[in-house]
Amino acid sequence: MKDQEKTPHSIYRKDYQAPYYWIDAVDLTFELGEDATRVRARLQMRRNLENNRSGGHNLVLHGEQLKTLSLKVNDNALAADIWQADEENLTVLTQLPEQFVLESEVEIYPQNNTSLDGLYQSSGNFCTQCEAEGFRRITWFLDRPDVMARYSSTIIADQKKYPVLLSNGNRCEQRDLGDGRHLVRWEDPFLKPSYLFALVAGNLACLDGEFITRSGRKVRLEIWVEPQNIEQCEHALRSLQQSMKWDEERFGLEYDLDIYMIVAVSDFNMGAMENKGLNVFNTKYVLSSPETATDKDYEDIQGVIGHEYFHNWTGNRVTCRDWFQLTLKEGLTVFRDEQFSADMGSAAVKRIEDVKILRTAQFDEDRGPMAHPIRPDSYIEMNNFYTVTVYNKGAEIIRLYHTLLGEAGFRKGMDLYFQRFDGQAVTCDDFRMAMADANDEDFTQLERWYDQAGTPLLHIDMEYDAEAKSCTLHLQQSQSTPDLVKNWQPWVIPVRIGLLGEQGEDLLCRLDDTPDAKTEHVLKVTQEKQSFRFHEVNARPVLSPLRRFSAPVKLDMQRDREEMAFLMAHDSDHFNRWDAGQTLAQDVLLDLTADIQARRELSLDSLFVSGFEKILHDTHLDGAIKALMLTLPNEHLLSLQMQEIDMDALHTAREFALSTLAQHFKQQWLDLYHSLRSTTPYSNDKNAINRRRLQACALEFLGYLPHTDHQHIGIQLAEEQFQAADNMSDAEAALKLLVNHPGPARDKALSDFYKRWKHEPLVLDKWFTLQASANHPGVVDEVLALAQHPDFSMKNPNRFRSLINIFSAKNPTYFHAKDGRGYQFLAEQVLAMDALNPQTAARVVSAFNQWKHYDVARRALMQAQLKRIIASPGLSKDVYEIVSRSLG
């Protein structure tokens, strides 16, 4: 990368212009082979008369790793001297007619494609992944999302090896060719960009079903998997049917083809892909049975299947004009899948889990070198911008519209959006204007959420006037990372609030000049400083701010621990009740960290212990909510509150708090655990899930009890639970405790688990993950050894992530061990993976992104590894972009 000519360059949003040519129809023919695959493409093209009327601009097509066999225009072969190809483009050096047909034939080698981008082989089957720019590895094309065409695909392959041949749309022809091969042809009647193309060929088994749309059409549903996995697809099929029904009821959106297919593959860079009518999924988000999948796995499968199905309208029927608009489809669809999951399960639990991701991963991204708005201004490698900012913060911005407009107003905006833009490639501004126009609102200021990076800091002061019986809130917003945005301007921030009385009751009050008193209000903050007055408040209230986390901001408010404990005990908003407890716990843990640094004696705040006890004994909370409320903030989240991170002190403080709570409530934990032990067969209904989650929480605390007389009650109970478990949720909870305690019980459980599940790849991923995230000093040595295990593979992203990503991103204490071995190990893994699969390598190298926030010694160690990586010859654009930005 030292050679200036080879240094990757940035692409800028401001430079967007429409293509000089359009493609109206695409006819593809694939001859799949073991040594090489031939792809013939027939493209019906025309000049874009708006910017290339004279034809003065050459036709330039995208392509990578293609061996060109022939090129024709209108059935005439192109002479070698009028076209040229390099590593990324094919240029036709002659003026073309206003309308023409371009035909090409290329040879590609899917069996050698370890990047899993384009057409590749997985477990002997052919599969595609074309988002964002993988289609250019299949044939020469205008591989950009604003070029939308109708596709037909003919697939020819060996009938015995590849009996199943799938592509987008509806199957319109299939026949035996008489030479051991067969042919299947597919036609997709809907316009789509190249990133939504899909092809799958292999020896697969199908679980089929159907869905009757609200207009009475019968849609065939097919879930295709490797034959040995066919018994693990029922939940995925039910989730698809639930998604289709929910989208009709909630948004009035009906599926549009005669068939909807899902294919599960074991080698996949992403979670899943929404290709039109043929979704390709990572097996992780399809396969499930009580013995192999946890309750969380079941929820994730339901949510991801919903997400990809919802893309049929928010992403496929209406797509992105360019990749800078990625949040247009992803932020919107994440919001939709969050709503779906909330309706299918617990809205409060779902909201808490979503905000936990936002606060740990996205707020972390906002203060690091990869900080960017939800609509980025530039990129080097587009794959690097499939981020929590684009997805999860993007969903929070969609939630702002929903909060400001209400359910009915949001639905009006969605209806207008589809009415205006169905079949088009559009921008975030088009969505914003549809929302505004449908509701006669001015949403100009909302554009700042798309253009300004960083997390808002919201400061709130409360002033109570006893004589006037009024309460005034003074709000001030600013940028939590002031150097990130030049010429910063205030955002639109909806702040949902409630006021609580001295008994914890919600108070009825009237806001400013509004006529009606309510217990909950949404304040629309649009200025840097703004005040709101509430009337008919008879006594000084306790403020419950940002209910249900109504905006993705950091709250700055002077509240003592008594107030936090009060909200923790009484707030009627489950999210805020959880959040108050987390804020109090965070405050306590950071104080303990400071005590450790100052070598002061440690003690756990009695107010926190008392508030914790009230949650523990609250019989009105369901098990899932209670488990979340009893879980302390993790070390990564705590580290985000420190300018210079002291991971050792943070770890010691959290361990002290957990041990203290375990010992203080020992009998309560034991009683709770035994009361939750099930004597009935496995069930996945809501009550059973809540029971298992609370039981797992109790067992985790019992794991922090000290050894007595060579016995450890937590280990003993975990052993018993592991041996008796009839489901993966209970087995994993027990093994999670055991891996933290080196010794015979741990070794036996890990050995038994491995022997039973070594032939189930997804379950074996859990075996690697649990060891990589273990909480004991020998974990670095164990991770190094696991990287040499016969079942560890660099070529499978799931397996790589289960060890390397979990250790570097989810085990901060031991990844950041003082000797720097974790850093050296990660750098070695990144460089090895980069040669195979740059996307996966780029995602794990991000573990170094916060290196500047650590102490001098750790900074030097991490910087050295970053410099080692960037100096490596042949580094991919993916890794180069992240490492160069990290180094600054």
Sort residue 874 into left (φ over 0), alpha (ψ -120 to 50) or beta.
Answer: left
Closest CA to 831 of 845, 810, 820, 819: 845
Residue 178: count of CB within 10 angstroms of its CB = 7
Q: At 551, list the tokens.
A: 């905006």
Look up residue 707 and give its DSSP letter: P
Contact 168/100 with Cβ under 8 angstroms?
A: no
Contact 509/537 with Cβ under 8 angstroms?
A: yes
Contact 52/150 with Cβ under 8 angstroms?
A: no
Amino acid making up residue 315: G
Residue 133 bears catalytic tag = no
How many angstroms separate the CA atoms of 478 and 455, rounded?
Answer: 9
Radius of gyration of the chain (CA): 28
Look up residue 218 and give its DSSP letter: E
Closest CA to 145 of 277, 330, 271: 330
Contact 422/143 with Cβ under 8 angstroms?
A: no
527 exposed, middle or buried (CB, 10 Å; 0-12, 13-18, 19+)? exposed
Q: The tokens 């990372």 sit on which residue?
A: 481
How many angstroms separate the CA atoms of 37 and 35, rounded?
Answer: 7
CA 21 from chain centre, in angstroms, equals 35
Residue 529: count of CB within 10 angstroms of its CB = 12
Q: At 15, list the tokens.
A: 């430079």
Question: Of these residues, 103, 105, 222, 308, which one is catalytic?
Answer: 308
| Residues forming beta bridges with residue 67, ordered by sequence position | 107
| Residues forming beta bridges with residue 457, ordered by sequence position | 478, 554
Q: At 39, list the tokens.
A: 């792809």
Q: The tokens 């989730």 sit on which residue?
A: 239
How many angstroms separate the CA atoms of 90 and 74, rounded?
Answer: 18
Residue 849: count of CB within 10 angstroms of its CB = 21
Q: At 340, list the tokens.
A: 């779906």
| Residues forming beta bridges with residue 461, ordered by sequence position | 474
557 exposed, middle or buried (CB, 10 Å; 0-12, 13-18, 19+)? middle
3-state helix, strand, coil in the chain (%, to 5): 45, 20, 35
Q: The tokens 């070695």 sit on which residue?
A: 828
Contact 712/741 with Cβ under 8 angstroms?
A: yes
CA triple 872-875-876, angle to 5 deg: 165
Contact 656/602 with Cβ under 8 angstroms?
A: yes
Look up residue 854 and give its DSSP letter: B
| N- to C-terminal Cα separation, the chain | 15
Residue 837: count of CB within 10 angstroms of its CB = 24
The 470-479 sheet, strands edge to edge: 510-511, 529-535, 470-479, 456-465, 554-556
What contacts 205, CB < 8 A, 6 or more positions away?
Answer: 224, 225, 226, 227, 229, 230
Q: The tokens 């709250």 sit on which residue?
A: 555
What contacts 357, CB < 8 A, 6 or more positions away?
Answer: 388, 392
604 exposed, middle or buried (CB, 10 Å; 0-12, 13-18, 19+)? middle
Contact 227/289 with Cβ under 8 angstroms?
A: no
Residue 688: count of CB within 10 angstroms of its CB = 18
Q: Which residues are catalytic?
A: 308
